[in-house]
Chain A
Amino acid sequence: MTLAPDSRPSPTAARIALTASAVAAAGLLLFPLATLGRGFDADAVLLHLSGGVFNLTANPDAPLPPTGTVLALGWATLALLVASIVGAVRRANWFWITGLLAFVTAVAAVWVLGSGLSAETARIAADTTLRPGAKRQLRNFYAQGGMNLGLFLPIVAGLITAGAGLSARPAWWERLNRLRGLLVPAVAIGLAVLVGAVVVLIVQPAVNTSGTPFSLWGGWLAKSDLVYFVYSTLFAPVTALNPFLDSLKLATPLIFTGLSVAFAFRTGLFNVGAPGQLTLGAIAAMLVGVYGPASLGWGLLPLSVIAAGLGGALWGAIPGLLKARFGSSEVINTIMLNYVASAIFIFMIGSDTFPFLGREYHLPFKAPGYEPASYDLQPGSRLPTLLGLFNVGQGGATALSIAPLVALATYFIARWALGRRARGGLIALAAALVLGLLTWRIGIPVQIAGSQLNASFLIALIGVGVFGVLMWRTAAGYALRAVGLSPRAAEYGGISVARNTILAMTIAGMFAGLAGTHYVNGGALDEYRLKGNMPVNVGFDGIAVALMGQSTPVGVVAASVLFGTIDTGGVDVQQKLNQVDRNLVTVLKALIVLFIAAGGFLSRRVTDPPPPQLVAAAGSTGPAEAGHLSPAGAAAERATPVPNVGRSSEVNAQVELDREREGSK
């Protein structure tokens, strides 16, 4: 995607637009345009662009909304996509307009469809002749309808086409170029989704509860509908409050382990040991939480959280120390320590006795009962749920405090108003805290079912802030990043690689260890105790999260929320479909890691282009082997002192020696 000298879109941009539009046009013809309604078992009423309606549900005469406008908009989208294809072939300047219009018409079709379905729902709600059960069923039936692949693809393709066409304009090229970092993760996700779609097509037979057999064509539409159904269910948790809070709950430990892996990545280390560090953190949190002095009351909570961090830090420091002192690979050592940690874990809570040389010894950690688990934490060491923390409603009503929003808004407004004044950040933070405390008791009533999202999510967000500040605002962070970019250069610059290796692994371990607070103090395993079913695999998911987030704190949060979302949605998919279970989500994550590792199979010219200054310089002076320099360039070169590159080492030594002699005279 190089910038063409004239303002026509580059051949690469045209090719991208051509592919996107062609795929979307084919999708319009081959896939169902929309789902008019969906039953409980993922059976659906499908609408195709041709106007054909395929009813695969058990209810053959469900009233359907009028579809004329949607179909007209669908045909308009198809025409615009064809126009975009023509434009892309001719590398015309205008094809971004038709691409954008295709996007607009497709969105309009979705909107028209959505309002038609909600009108149907409202009509049923007002219908008094229906039983309440039937009413609820029919309303669910329409609520689960909406667009399908046929409208989804043009929406995406329209945006891609518009972006490709606009990339010919320098201003837009700059804007798009800033998003280049997202290219590899986006392509990796796209490819993983594609492979997942093929898996769904192969393993899941079409759902048809109507009783009438369908033709080959109808069967194909039903199967391709399942692909859309699976993905829309996987990503559905973002659209409603309660599932979203659930997905944040699953995202919380991923944020911790993602930060852990990302922190090590930044220093050039690969921390595969997050599962072990998490385990040790959880054990430490449990030890303080159960056996700490009860007289401390709520003071026990911070102690337990600190213990979790320290436990993980200790487990991370060991491979760091071994790498710095003996040069043994941190990858192998962290993997080995994962198994050691798991052995300690099972040893502690698997049984309350252990044999040693013919005698039985007693272990005080396992609570009585069949299940391997520790004793309950003291109430003072439990983290509250976020709902409990922010609920300021009186008399049973739920009202969320507006304080966090006010504080956030205050912070950003103050930062902006104070401009570049010294200590502006601190003043803004203080103002945010004061206003937050003042507005603490003001709440807005919300409709919300109980959510188990606990305060370790806040600890995770604090961890994100600590990561950012430590890495980009402190000298220690500068040293860590320098070691990660080039250990030799850092060593030459007086930065101790060994010290920073140990420091990086210790802090990485601390982040992973803090994930233990989510399970033990936060009660994420449905009980406030250490249990045998703690999912230590989230330590490995941290690798995927860090890779997808490109080792930036904000990226880690975004990737964690995405993974938490599809983890939550995966449970729904498993409930609805027989042959697809939530392990599909695990496969998707693994594929994303694999594809990101392969750079999205993109060429390096795309993912890591030479800096524009270099390209511009090469353009103005011509290729280096031509040997020509502009007069100004030649003068500049003569004026620059020649560095000692290219001299032999003997000459360099001689020069040094001469200099020393002159100095001693």
Chain B
Amino acid sequence: MEGLFAQLVTTAFLATFIRSVVPLLLTALGGLFSERSGVVNIALDGLIIFGALAGAIVTYTLDPVLGALAPWVGWLAGALVGGLIAWVHAVVSIKYRADQVISGTAINLLATGVPSVILTALYGTSTESPKVPHGLPLWGAGELRFSPPVYFAFLLVAVTWYVLYRTPYGLRLRATGEHPGAAASMGVNVRRMRYSGVILSGLLAGTAGVFLSIGNLDSYVRNISAGLGFISLAALIFGQWKPLGVLGATLLFGFLQALAITLGGTDLLPPTLVTALPYLITIIALIFTGRSAAPRALGKPFEG
């Protein structure tokens, strides 16, 4: 056991830990906006993939023109593409009142096919994009050097909390998710609130994807999200749809992921089983909380 602690109390582990937390945190906070407005967003995994793909391609394409500025434009593009795809989910599930889970599943299915089609058309290979010459810059010291989305993610926890609980927008968003009929009778435009929630989730999931492709690696590779969207969804539920709860849950799940990565080289626990822990924890957490804390109108189309 001493070996385990020696492995864990290092700056290298801390860096791995933070890098594992960031995409989860960004995606889960995005999902928070969508689900608090009453729209289930099971498409988060697909949104991450679209964001990662767009970020990598735009950065690679603009690099000869913009140089070190290109990844910043890539970040913007990845977030916008994530928002655009989320908008499709919003149109289908809000305007056409589709089953939100089925619509989200369709987006995830799209994310398994579209990247290959685009990569084949652009570069003739279906699995990865070319490496970008400049990724996002690394800020920090020593081993703890991270790209900007890392700092953005932790700042976002406070911003989300403030927006959700201290602004009129947040009040309306929460009302839309709890009781859209009542919100509508108070003059809140329920559909517009839901659109904004879903699109925000897309912007943030897209940012998470950009962090993966050009903030952490230097290209888009197939299956880059590796189910992070679903773990984020689990963190959102485990965190009871609250910003601070989400932070706690993503810290736990990120820790487990970093543990699995670190244990891969040691002889303490089978890493495959450690990676399954977040999912088991979510199942157990759901047993104890049920759907008690979920926004009450979650998943129900608004008929007004």
Contacts and interface: CB of A to CB of B under 8 A. Distances in A.
A203 B123 CA distance: 11
Contacts of A358: 3, 267-268
A346 interface: yes
Interface stretch (B98-106, B160-168, B174-182): B98-106
B109 interface: yes
A355 B267 contact: yes
Interface string B96-130: 10110111011111101110110011001010000
B272 A598 contact: no
Interface stretch (B50-58, B76-84, B193-201, B280-288): B280-288
A311 to B, nearest CB: 17
Interface in B1-60: 1, 3, 42
Contact of A586 (B112, B124, B268, B286): B112
A606 to B, nearest CB: 13
Contacts of B102: 270, 543, 547, 593, 596-597
A138 to B, nearest CB: 31
Interface in A335-352: 335-337, 339-340, 343-344, 346-347, 350
A13 B103 CA distance: 30
A579 to B, nearest CB: 5
A137 interface: no
B188 interface: no
Contacts of B114: 583, 587, 590
B287 A328 contact: yes
Interface string A577-608: 01111011111011101101111010000000
Contacts of A452: none
A581 B120 contact: yes
Contacts of B124: 578-579
B291 A328 contact: yes
Contact of A343 (B101, B106, B237, B272): B272
B72 interface: no
Contact of A594 (B110, B233, B266, B275): B110
Contact of A583 (B116, B275, B283): B116
B290 interface: yes
Interface in A184-204: 199, 202-203
Contact of B113 (A333, A359, A580, A590): A590
Contacts of A598: 92, 96, 98, 103
Interface in A504-560: 537, 540, 543-544, 547
Nearest to B89: A594
Given A203-B117, A601-B96, A336 B3 contact: no
Interface in B207-257: 227, 230, 233-234, 237
A329 interface: yes
Contact of B98 (A322, A590, A597): A597
Contacts of B103: 594, 597-598
A331 interface: yes
B105 A272 contact: yes
B105 A583 contact: no
A51 interface: no
Contact of B286 (A322, A339, A344): A322
Interface residues of B, number: 49
Nearest to A578: B124
A332 B237 contact: yes
B244 to A, nearest CB: 21
Contact of B280 (A336, A356, A360, A601): A336
A355 B291 CA distance: 37
B276 interface: yes
B282 A356 contact: no
B279 A354 contact: no
Contacts of B227: 339
B112 A590 contact: yes
A357 interface: yes
B273 interface: yes
B276 A587 contact: no
Interface in B184-198: none
A537 B108 CA distance: 12
Contact of B282 (A199, A332, A597): A332
Contacts of A340: 276, 279-280
A597 B280 contact: no
A364 interface: no
Nearest to B103: A597
Nearest to B231: A339
B137 interface: no
A594 B92 contact: yes
Contacts of A359: 267
A329 B40 CA distance: 12
B67 interface: no
B96 A587 contact: no
Given A332-B233, A340-B279, A587-B114, A594 B287 contact: no
Contacts of B233: 332, 335
Interface string A454-490: 0000000000000000000000000000000000000
A327 to B, nearest CB: 4
B109 A355 contact: no
A315 to B, nearest CB: 12
Contacts of A332: 233-234, 237, 282, 286
Contacts of A492: none
A306 B230 CA distance: 32
B275 A343 contact: yes
Contact of B110 (A272, A336, A579, A590): A590
B111 to A, nearest CB: 8
B269 interface: yes
B117 A354 contact: no
A370 interface: no
A349 to B, nearest CB: 11
A217 interface: no
A347 B230 contact: no
Residue picked from B103, B270, B280, B287, most chain A C-beta under 10 Å: B270
A587 B113 contact: yes
A359 B266 CA distance: 10
A586 B266 CA distance: 39
A238 to B, nearest CB: 22
B116 A590 contact: no
Interface string A317-330: 00000100011110
A584 B266 CA distance: 42
Contacts of A586: 109, 112-113, 116
Nearest to A344: B276
A583 B127 CA distance: 11
Nearest to A361: B270
Nearest to A587: B113
Contacts of B283: 322, 328, 333, 336-337
Given A327-B291, A336-B283, A597 B106 contact: yes
Given A336-B280, A336-B283, A597-B103, A587 B98 contact: no
A186 B282 CA distance: 39
B279 A339 contact: yes
Interface of B: 1, 3, 42, 88, 92-93, 96, 98-99, 101-103, 105-110, 112-114, 116-117, 120-121, 124, 126, 227, 230, 233-234, 237, 266-270, 272-273, 275-276, 279-280, 282-283, 286-287, 290-291
11 contacts: A272-B105, A332-B237, A336-B230, A360-B267, A540-B109, A581-B126, A583-B126, A584-B117, A587-B110, A590-B107, A599-B96
Interface of A: 199, 202-203, 270, 272, 322, 326-329, 331-333, 335-337, 339-340, 343-344, 346-347, 350, 354-360, 537, 540, 543-544, 547, 578-581, 583-587, 589-591, 593-594, 596-599, 601
Given A329-B291, A357-B268, A597-B98, 20 more contacts: A203-B120, A331-B101, A332-B237, A336-B230, A343-B275, A357-B1, A537-B112, A543-B102, A544-B109, A578-B124, A583-B113, A583-B126, A586-B109, A589-B109, A593-B106, A593-B109, A596-B102, A597-B103, A598-B98, A598-B103
Ranked 3 nearest A-B pairs via Cβ: A586-B113, A590-B109, A343-B276
